[in-house]
Amino acid sequence: MEAVQKEHGRLLKRLKASQSIKHVQSTIEILQSARDTIHSDPNQAAVTLAKLQNPVKASFESINDTLKETHSGMNKYTKSLDKLFKDRPLPSTDHDVLSTQEPLINRAIAMHLLREGQFSVASTFLEEIAKQKSLEFVQSSSQSPEKAATLLEMDEEPSETTRQQFASMYYILHEMKENRNLQPAIEWSRDHRAALEARGSNLEFELCRLHAGIRSPRVSSLRPRYLREVQQLVGAMAFCPNMRGSPYASIFNNPSAWDDVAQFFTREFCSLLGLSADSPLYVAATAGAIALPTLLKLQSIMKAKRTEWTSENELPVEISLPPSYLFHSIFVCPVSKEQATDDNPPMMIPCGHVIAEESLRRLSKGNRFKCPYCPSESHPRDARKVFL
């Protein structure tokens, strides 16, 4: 990267100091003065013109010289780029599975724009998709009516309700962050109390608690679940004029409390819609950028060895991502070293050790068998499927 920066710096400097136009200008001046001479004294024409040959030629040469310099500067920059991206070509286009899934990608993008609060871009985007679709529809309907029918059926766009939901999420977050107004959020959580409670979410309480820091607490309806916390709040009310010095200061004067609650709210809001809190498109694209170097290396190794992936469903190489990119528990059978799937689920033997179903079958052959990890013996029918 440094080399690229350096070469480009030189290129810029040379560009600023470029003399080529000046040389052109001086050529013009030479010609002009010759013209003036001839104009004032036509008899000198032959001499003047003869004298003109070499200077004009020379100035063209100096133009070419400066061009050559620029050219070599550009080549050096090209080389530094080549070096930076050496051995790192973009992946081959052989199997671009995604190009056949254009509507799904567009839908994911539209959802991403909505959840990022880019409502106007999202609506332009959806309009443009609709426009292109109708154009394709006109074109294809003139040729094959069947294709047109499938086009009409495909409605992959996020619905108007999704858009409204995100709009209200942004309104609530805006009120919370900019105006320190929790009322819309509390109202929302009250409207969704049943759903939130089923999840064991204490969002409403957290909101009310933060709210209480500003005004009087209205948390009595939540008392049975948060008895201890409510007691704390009631205690805190006694210190109302002097909150800072009170033993309850930590509840209220936590500067990150607002951000925490905003984040908590976003997560709960998205979860109720069955969506992840962070944009999946962002997480996936970032994970992709992290995974690419490894995958590319693999691709080149496989090409060199002319081998194929042994398992079509599974990547052939492990990719290390930051811990926050791990969402599910992962079960790898300690016997077969295979990941558990629906067809080969993890089974717990009575002693508490877990192996994959296929390994269990292979080890036991239907009879009593010894656990591969402890001395206890059991019958395969006593093993139980577990869910991670």
Partner 1 sequence: MAAELTSTKLNPESHLILDQPLLRLPHELARRNFKTVQRAVEREKDYVLPALREAANASLSNRQTPDQTLAALDAMISRMQGLKRKMESLQEEEKKIQNQSRKRIQHLETLHQIPSLVDVKYDQWSRVRLDRLLVDHMLRSGYSDSAKQLAQERDIEDIVDLTVFTQCQRVVESLRRGETKEALQWCGENKAALKKSHHTLEFELRLQQYIEMVRTQDQSKKLEAILHARKYLTPNHESQNSEIMQAAGLLVFNQNTRAEPYKTLFSLDRWKFLADLFVKTHHELLSLPSQPLLHIALSAGLSALKTPLCHSAYTSSSSNSQSTSTSVCPICSTELNELARKMPYAHHSKSYVEADPIVLPNGRVYGKARLLDISRNLGAVEAGKVKDPTTGEVFDEEEMKKVYIM
Nearer to partner 1, 24 or 249 (CB): 24
Question: Among 331, 338, 335, which Cα is nearest to 386's?
Answer: 331
Nearer to partner 1, 232 or 246 (CB): 232
Q: Is 57 in the site for partner 1 (CB under 8 A)?
A: yes
Using CB under 8 A, which of the segments 10-18, 167-175, 229-237, 359-367 binds partner 1? Answer: 10-18
Using CB under 8 A, which of the segments 176-184, 232-240, 241-249, 310-318 binds partner 1? Answer: 310-318
Site string for partner 1, 137-176 (x = CB under 8 A): ----------------------------------------
Strand, helix or coil for residue 384? strand
Nearer to partner 1, 104 or 237 (CB): 104
Strand, helix or coil for residue 339? strand
Region of 379 (left: φ > 0; alpha: ψ -120 to 50; beta: rest) is beta
What is the spatial distance between Cα 99 and Cα 105, in angstroms, rounded to a whole number? 9
How many C-beta atoms lie closer than 10 Å to residue 1's C-beta?
Answer: 7
Q: Is residue 175 a contact partner of residue 230, using CB atoms and an 8 Å limit? A: no
Shortest distance, position 111 Cβ to partner 1, whole Å: 5
Using CB under 8 A, which of the segments 170-178, 208-216, 240-248, 346-354 binds partner 1? Answer: 346-354
Q: Is 386 in the site for partner 1 (CB under 8 A)?
A: yes
Q: Is 388 in the site for partner 1 (CB under 8 A)?
A: yes
Q: Which member of 62, 141, 246, 271 binds partner 1 (CB under 8 A)? A: 271
Q: Is 270 in the site for partner 1 (CB under 8 A)?
A: yes
* Binding positions for partner 1, 84-113, rule CB under 8 A: 84-85, 88, 90-91, 93, 96-99, 101-102, 104-109, 111-113
Q: Is residue 279 a contact partner of residue 116, using CB atoms and an 8 Å limit? A: yes
Site string for partner 1, 325-344 (x = CB under 8 A): xxxxxxxx-x--x-xxxx--
* Binding positions for partner 1, 58-87, rule CB under 8 A: 60, 63-64, 67, 70-71, 74, 77-78, 81, 84-85
| SS3 sequence of 148-203 | HHHHHHCCCCCCHHHHHHHHHHHHHHHHHHHCCCCHHHHHHHHHCHHHHHHCCCCH
What is the spatial distance between Cα 4 and Cα 79, in angstroms, rounded to a whole number? 9
* Binding positions for partner 1, 170-229, rule CB under 8 A: 197-202, 224-225
Beta strands 346-348 and 369-370, pairing class: unpaired
Q: Is 31 in the site for partner 1 (CB under 8 A)?
A: yes
What is the spatial distance between Cα 205 and Cα 291, in angstroms, rounded to a whole number? 40
What is the spatial distance between Cα 171 and Cα 178, in angstroms, rounded to a whole number? 10
Shortest distance, position 81 Cβ to partner 1, whole Å: 6
Contacting residues for 266 by C-beta, under 8 A, at least 6 apart: 169, 173, 277
Nearer to partner 1, 258 or 373 (CB): 373
Q: Is residue 244 a contact partner of residue 229, using CB atoms and an 8 Å limit? A: no
Q: Is 288 in the site for partner 1 (CB under 8 A)?
A: yes
Question: Among 123, 172, 122, 160, which Cα is nearest to 279's?
Answer: 122
Shortest distance, position 215 Cβ to partner 1, whole Å: 24
Shortest distance, position 212 Cβ to partner 1, whole Å: 19
Shortest distance, position 106 Cβ to partner 1, whole Å: 8
Q: Is 235 in the site for partner 1 (CB under 8 A)?
A: no
